[in-house]
Structure 1
Amino acid sequence: MNIALVTGSAGLIGSESVAFFADKFDLVIGVDNNLRQYFFGQDGNTEWNRNRLQDAYTNYKHYSADIREVSQLEPIFKEYGADIKLIVHAAAQPSHDWAAREPFTDFGVNAVGTLNMLEMTRQNCPEAVFIFTSTNKVYGDNPNYLPLVELESRWEISEDHAYFKNGIDEHHSLDHTKHSIFGASKVAADIMCQEYGRYFGMKVGVFRGGCLTGPNHSGAQLHGFLAYLMKCTITNNPYTIFGYKGKQVRDNIHSYDLVNMFWHFYQNPRPGEAYNAGGGRYANCSMLEAIAICEKIAGKKLTYHYSETNRIGDHIWYVSDLTKFKSHYPDWNWTYNLEQTLVQIHDGIAARLAMAV
């Protein structure tokens, strides 16, 4: 039997992974205890997504296990053993603002949980391909010291620095920078994943995501930029822009396109490699530009106010350079541009709100 195991399976990337791999594996195992609701309240509740997966995929089996506890993971790995061919580790505490509230919880989920998953894999299914969803926050605020220029609606890299014309690549330094507590815990997990690939020779791939987005995102104020922005636009809830004049730039990758990167890696794994993964120059926007697109799609104005206080360690400009991944896997490319993604997000939120009435 060929089995794929997905942690954070009711979240954005986890649920996209379940959908993507359901027809490629005999069984897809999901591990998710809805900790996102603990982090972000009702906005972060992923129960609706878990129910959707269980209804949609007959070969999906769910476990409400806590990745911080080996005692909860070990029985799953022991039961399925070497039949597990792919692991997508997408479970995380994903907010750098929230992490500062409970550093023990943040490090437990992001770093200890990842080590637990790696070691369970090594002991029970060492030939499996292990995908880790890391983050661009491993670079800390080093990107803020790049030569940036202020334009009418965004910050942009100076044209005098051609090296960064495609964005930030994997050689960007992880050192001598302010990461946020979240960023530091993800660095620990990121490096450990690389080490299991290089030291033990396991088929581990690390994907440092920009803004990950899509229609199945349970967006909240502290995490889920585009999904939460669109939700506020639809519902008339006030939105807050934190610093940088609203011109801070993010690249955005649709969850399908990211999971498709995982699939390409699975078919030809390169142990211990780390890849930047985002919308790159294909799909990026500033906060002000994103608001304009959301208003256009929703057909209504967003109520927002501006705070001069930026989030600690936040990026002013971040665009992922995917040159390395595309050189290793030239058949991969983006499928969804920014507006297509936001239309899907709008329609998904509108449908769920209609069902809740």
Structure 2
Amino acid sequence: MNIALVTGSGGLIGSEAVSFFADKFDLIIGIDNNMRQYFFGPEASTQWNQDRLASDFATYEHHTADIREVSQLEPIFQKYGTDIKLVLHTAAQPSHDWAAREPFTDFGVNAVGTLNMLEMTRLHAPQAVFVFTSTNKVYGDNPNFLPLIETETRWEIDTNHPYYKNGIDEYMSLDHTKHSVFGASKVAADIMVQEYGRYFGMNTGVFRGGCLTGPNHSGAQLHGFLSYLMKCAITGTQYTIFGYKGKQVRDNIHSWDLVNMFWHFYQNPRPGEVYNAGGGRYANCSMLEAMALCEEISGNKMNYQYSETNRSGDHIWYISDLSRFKEHYPTWDWTYDLRSTMTQIHDSMIERLAVTQ
């Protein structure tokens, strides 16, 4: 039997993976205890997504387990053992702001939980491909010291800089920088996943995501940039821009495109490898540009306020360079540009809001 195990299966990337892999594996095991609701409140609950997966996919088997507890993970790994061919670890505490409130919880989920998943895989399914969704926040605020230029709607890097053409590559330093508590816990996990590949020879891969997005995101104010922005556009909820004049730039990758990267890696894994994963120059926007697109798609005027206080460790300009991945996996490319992604988010959210009203 070929089994894929997905942590955070009710979340954006986890649920996309369940859908993507449903016809590629005999069984998809999902692990998710809806901690996103604990992090961000009822509006961020992933229960609706878990229910959807259970209804839509006969090959999906759900487990409400806490990745911080080996005692809850080990029975799953013992039961299926070497039939587990892919471990996709997407579960995380994803917010800068929230991490500072409860550092023990943040580190427990992001760092300890990742170590638990690695060790369970090593002991029970050592030949499995282990894919980890890391983050560009492992680079801390080093990107903020690049030579940036302010334009009318965004910050942009100097055209003479090597990063201008394709964005930031995997060789940007992780040291001598402020990460935020969240960024630091993800660094710990990121390095450990690499080490299990290099030291133990496991088929591990690290994907440092930019802004991950798509129609199945349970966006909240502290996490889920485009999803929450569109929700505010539809409902009239006031949105807060935190610092940098709203000109901070993010690249955005659709969840399907990211999971397709995982699929390419699974078919030809490179142990201990690290890849930046985002929209690159293909799909990126500033906060102001994203708001304008939300208004255009929704037909509503945004209700927003501005705060001079930026989030600690936040990036002013970040665009991912995917050249390394595309060199290793030349048949992969983006499918969804920014407009098509935002339209999907809008249409899905309208449908979900109609159901709850």
How high is the TM-score relative to the length of structure 1? Answer: 1.00
- Look up the SS of the partner of 1:88 in the other structure: strand
Find the aligned partners of 1:164 and 1:23 in 2 and give their Cα distance.
Answer: 39
Moved more, 129-138 or 156-165: 156-165
Letter in 2 for 1:107: F
Matched, 1:92 2:92: yes
Letter in 2 for 1:179: H
Find the aligned partners of 1:63 and 1:347 in 2 and give their Cα distance.
Answer: 30
Partner of 1:175: 175
Partner of 1:269: 269
Matched, 1:260 2:260: yes
Deviation of the 1:163 alpha carbon: 4.0
Partner of 1:297: 297
Partner of 2:309: 309
Partner of 2:349: 349
Over aligned residue pairs, what C-alpha RMSD do you find? 0.5
- The 5 Å alignment of 1:315-354 reads 315-354=315-354
Contact 1:250/1:285 (8 A) holds in 2: yes
Letter in 1 for 2:218: S
Matched, 1:83 2:83: yes
Matched, 1:102 2:107: no
Deviations 1:32-74 (A, max 9, x none): 0000000000121000000000000000000000000000000
Deviations 1:260-315 (A, max 9, x none): 00000000000000000000000000000000000000001010010000000000
Matched, 1:66 2:48: no
Find the aligned partners of 2:16 and 2:44 in 1 and give their Cα distance.
Answer: 17
Matched, 1:203 2:219: no
Deviation of the 1:164 alpha carbon: 3.7
Find the aligned partners of 1:106 and 1:245 in 2 and give their Cα distance.
Answer: 29
Partner of 1:149: 149
Letter in 1 for 2:206: V
- Look up the SS of the partner of 1:305 in the other structure: strand
- Look up the SS of the partner of 1:275 in the other structure: strand
Find the aligned partners of 2:319 and 2:210 in 1 and give their Cα distance.
Answer: 7
- The 5 Å alignment of 1:45-56 reads 45-56=45-56
Deviation of the 1:162 alpha carbon: 3.0
Name the % identity.
Answer: 77
- Look up the SS of the partner of 1:330 in the other structure: coil
Partner of 1:136: 136
Letter in 2 for 1:244: Y
Partner of 1:191: 191
Partner of 2:223: 223
Letter in 2 for 1:272: G
Find the aligned partners of 2:253 and 2:43 in 1 and give their Cα distance.
Answer: 21
Partner of 1:17: 17
Letter in 2 for 1:113: G
Find the aligned partners of 2:295 and 2:354 in 1 and give their Cα distance.
Answer: 19
Structure 1's consecutive aligned runs of 4 or more residues displaced over 6 angstroms after TM superposition are: none
Find the aligned partners of 1:305 and 1:65 in 2 and give their Cα distance.
Answer: 39
Contact 1:130/1:205 (8 A) holds in 2: yes
Deviations 1:232-276 (A, max 9, x none): 000000000000000000000000000000000000000000000
Deviation of the 1:8 alpha carbon: 0.1
Partner of 2:118: 118
Find the aligned partners of 1:163 and 1:332 in 2 and give their Cα distance.
Answer: 22
Find the aligned partners of 1:85 and 1:51 in 2 and give their Cα distance.
Answer: 25
How many equivalent pairs are there?
357
Deviation of the 1:186 alpha carbon: 0.1
- Look up the SS of the partner of 1:121 in the other structure: helix
Find the aligned partners of 2:89 and 2:68 in 1 and give their Cα distance.
Answer: 13
Deviations 1:8-28 (A, max 9, x none): 000000000000000000000
- Look up the SS of the partner of 1:333 in the other structure: coil
Letter in 2 for 1:140: G
Contact 1:157/1:165 (8 A) holds in 2: no
- Look up the SS of the partner of 1:130 in the other structure: strand
- Look up the SS of the partner of 1:110 in the other structure: helix
Partner of 2:249: 249
Find the aligned partners of 1:163 and 1:352 in 2 and give their Cα distance.
Answer: 39
Find the aligned partners of 1:171 and 1:162 in 2 and give their Cα distance.
Answer: 12
